[in-house]
Amino acid sequence: MIPLYFAPLQGYTDDAYRRFHQQEVGGATAYYTPFVRWEHGGVRSKDLRDVRPDFNEGVPLVVQVIAASIEEFRHLLEVLTPLGHRRIDLNMGCPFQLQARHGRGAGLLGNVEVVREILNEMNVRSDFHFSVKLRLGWDAPNECMQLLPLLNDARLVQVTLHPRLGIQGYKGTADIEAFAKFAEECRHPLVFNGDIRTPQEATRIMERFPTLHGLMIGRGWLARPSLGRELAEGREWSRTERMALIKRLHDRLHAHYAAIVPGDAALHQKLKTYWDYMEEEVGRKCLKKLKKAGNLKNYLRAVSEVV
């Protein structure tokens, strides 16, 4: 089985989710953290907490950063060095407008000179192992191909490509042919990311690209927490097995957040996002009931009825 990487999603795959997922089911070669960014002269305390080693004990971790300049990138390395992290992924794929308009994430793809500066910095920082995650481009699908010579010459352990444009967000479908074109010329170990929700879809991608170094899965893994283990075991879990895991994982998150989130209303808001991607697993009727629960008591009653 090729490596499987759990993609980061802001607000979902925090340190608690990663820790409990690894303990309950695992299946991930590594979990990528939601991106750490440098803004207003520093890094947010909650971002630093999320990547603290003591909050990620036993979890194979890759810290993802997002930067709009070489200065931001260097600051982030300085902040992460004391924490002991030596495996860093540069995010050039985030489609969120709030970051892209400042030249971060997919907004960095069109700025060749800044990308060159950051990659040159990677080349001289032998104290880190770097990788890059990118999209086809922000609004032009050839931007990734324009960057490919720079990527090929950089000291990278792998490259992950999500074959969509930044302006697409998560709409439409991943462009498999564009990925194939990139794969033909990429000299680094290459990872596919995008539109993998079932074991069958993962298998189709692996068969289409037999030399892949790995699969990165985000929304599909959140929707089906057993997905990585199913792929590792080479068998599709029964619905009973999948639902039991979904409930166990929820119960652990509930216990964790109940101890740190002040008040039932805030706890309810925090917990209900757990189901955002699970309509296919739990069914539309069940999901609607979970989302419409007006308070924590009704919500937990709805959770108890998930079958």
pLDDT in tens, 123-161: 999 999 999 999 999 999 999 999 999 999 999 999 999
What are the residue ranges of helices labelled H in 94-153?
A: 97-100, 112-124, 143-153
C-alpha distances in angstroms, 225 versus 18, 185, 249? 11, 33, 9
Supply 220's token pair.
Answer: 């599909």
Total residues found in the chain within this entry: 307
Q: What is the pLDDT of residue 219?
A: 96
pLDDT along the chain (307 residues), means of 10: 95 97 98 96 95 96 98 97 96 93 95 98 97 96 96 98 95 95 98 96 96 97 97 95 97 97 96 96 95 96 90
Task: Assign domain 4-233 to its CATH architecture.
Answer: Alpha-Beta Barrel (3.20)
Domains of the chain, by residue range, sit at 4-233, 239-304
The answer to whether 22 and 59 have CB atoms below 8 angstroms apart is: yes
- pTM attached to this predicted model: 0.95
| Residue 197: predicted pLDDT | 94
Question: pLDDT for 157-207, tens place per residue?
Answer: 999 999 999 999 999 899 999 999 999 999 999 999 999 999 999 999 999
Closest listed residue to residue 159, CA positions, set 219, 90, 206: 90
Question: What pLDDT is stored for residue 1 in this prediction?
Answer: 82
202 in Cβ contact with 3 (< 8 Å)? no
Query: What is the separation of C-alpha 223 from the centre of its chain, rounded to a whole number of angstroms?
Result: 13
